[in-house]
Amino acid sequence: MSKTLIVYYSRKGENYWNGSIKNLSKGNTEIVAEMIADMTGGDLFEVETVKPYAADYYTCIDEAKKELSEGARPEIKAYADSLDGYDTIFVGYPNWWGTMPMAMFTFLEHYNLEGKRILPFCTNEGSGMGGSERDLKKICKGAKVESGLSIHGAEAANSRGKVEAWVKKWM
């Protein structure tokens, strides 16, 4: 029987939400990650940066843009001990400037993902998957990166049907 991991980065606090800023007690990506864990029985792993992003949303997106332009690899608090036992890895993130937050690059580049199946999911306010699937194919060498799921962030809590249909397609 194959084991499943759901690894994700999510932003709590100030987020862009249907045209305005809203303070979220739980990030949109985390909500979707928990749904996937519930549906698959997979293990959850949250990627967290050592240096937190600014609480102010607009300052945070400026920080994220700078990291992207510099190709930064922000230090993260922890890595999973090993990904060897996992055949399928769901990779979740908000779309920041057309791709994943750079902390996800830090996490994924730490591992040999050859032979793994990568299932990306992304929350966003209208930008879809951006170029994140292309970026995943570059950094997850030897892995099979499948077509991702884009969830409108403001609808994350009510997206169970859409998430479930996508998960069933792959599991």
State how far the Cα of 165 lies from the Cα of 139, in Å rounded to an integer: 27
38 vs 2, more confident: 38
Phi and psi torsions of 63, nearest 5°: -60, -45
Which residues are CB-contacts of 72 (< 8 A; sequence separation ≥ 6)? 66, 102
Q: Where are the alpha helices (DSSP H) in 75-115?
A: 102-109
Radius of gyration of the chain (CA): 15
Tens of pLDDT, residue by residue over 112-161, are 999 999 999 999 998 999 999 999 999 999 999 999 999 999 999 999 99
pLDDT at site 1: 44
Range of the domain at 30: 3-170
**Cβ-count burial of 51 within 10 angstroms (0-12 exposed, 13-18 middle, 19+ buried)?**
exposed
Tens of pLDDT, residue by residue over 13-29, are 999 898 899 999 999 99
pLDDT at site 100: 97
**Cβ-count burial of 170 within 10 angstroms (0-12 exposed, 13-18 middle, 19+ buried)?**
middle
Phi and psi torsions of 118, nearest 5°: -105, 125
Q: Give the helix/strand (H/E) hosting 28.
A: helix 28-40
Query: How many structural domains compose the chain?
Result: 1
- In the chain, what is the straight-line distance between the N-terminal and C-terminal CA atoms, in Å? 12
Express as a percent the part of the chain with pLDDT over 90: 95
User: Residue 104 belongs to a domain with what CATH number?
Assistant: 3.40.50.360
